[in-house]
Amino acid sequence: MHRLVAYARSIMVVSLFALVPTFRPLFAQSAAPSGAAAELRDSLLALDRRWGQAYVHADSAFVSGFVADDWHGWFDDHADSKASVLAAVGSSAPHTLEDIVDHAMVRIFGQMAVIQARERNRVADAHGGHWVTRHITDVFVHRPEGWVVVASHDSRIPNP
């Protein structure tokens, strides 16, 4: 009986080691060729920066195509939808004067990507403008029409 238990344990241990490569994609991203991965990271970051510039230049056409219909954004004091973002970009209210996205980390998971960064906006006011700094997290999905943003979270942080 003791040998049967020992044999069953050794089979179980060997089976677990055999499954380790199967579980690898759950916790480790497979590496794409470094040039292709870097190019994709750069293009996704450029899209995120262009989204910020859309507020500076009132580019509602870009926002309409880039922000997914099912996008949701969460901020310190409110939630946003695609409709509210399009209204803000297309409004006659003063837009963002400058938008800077830096300190970015782009992670790609196949057909999904996450960008975390610092975003600084110079917002119009009676004195010409003031800076608002946020930590942003944007989630992208590759769909038939290309990369779109499907979720965002922005938290205000102290200005540098």
Secondary structure of residue 83 in the 3-state scheme: helix
> Please, is 31 exposed, middle or buried when counting C-beta atoms within 10 Å of its C-beta (0-12, 13-18, 19+)?
exposed
| Digit-coded pLDDT (tens) for 1-42 | 555 444 444 444 444 344 444 333 333 444 545 788 999 999
Q: State CA 149 to chain mean position distance.
A: 7
Mean pLDDT of 125-150: 95
CATH class, range 32-157:
alpha beta
| Digit-coded pLDDT (tens) for 114-124 | 999 999 999 98
Q: In what order do the strands lie in the sheet with 146-157?
A: 79-81, 67-74, 146-157, 130-143, 112-123, 96-109
Secondary structure of residue 112 in the 3-state scheme: strand
**Residue 103 CA: distances (Å) to CA of 45, 88, 134:** 11, 26, 11
| Digit-coded pLDDT (tens) for 94-118 | 678 999 999 999 999 999 999 999 9
pLDDT computed for residue 6 by the predictor: 47
pLDDT computed for residue 97 by the predictor: 93
For residue 62, is pLDDT > 60? yes
Q: Provide the token pair at 43.
A: 């293009």
For residue 49, is pLDDT > 90? yes
Of residues 1 and 147, the one with the higher pLDDT is 147
pLDDT computed for residue 92 by the predictor: 74
Q: Provide the token pair at 114.
A: 């996450």
| Cβ contact 116:90 at 8 Å | no
Q: What percent of the chain has pLDDT over 70?
A: 79
For residue 52, is pLDDT > 60? yes
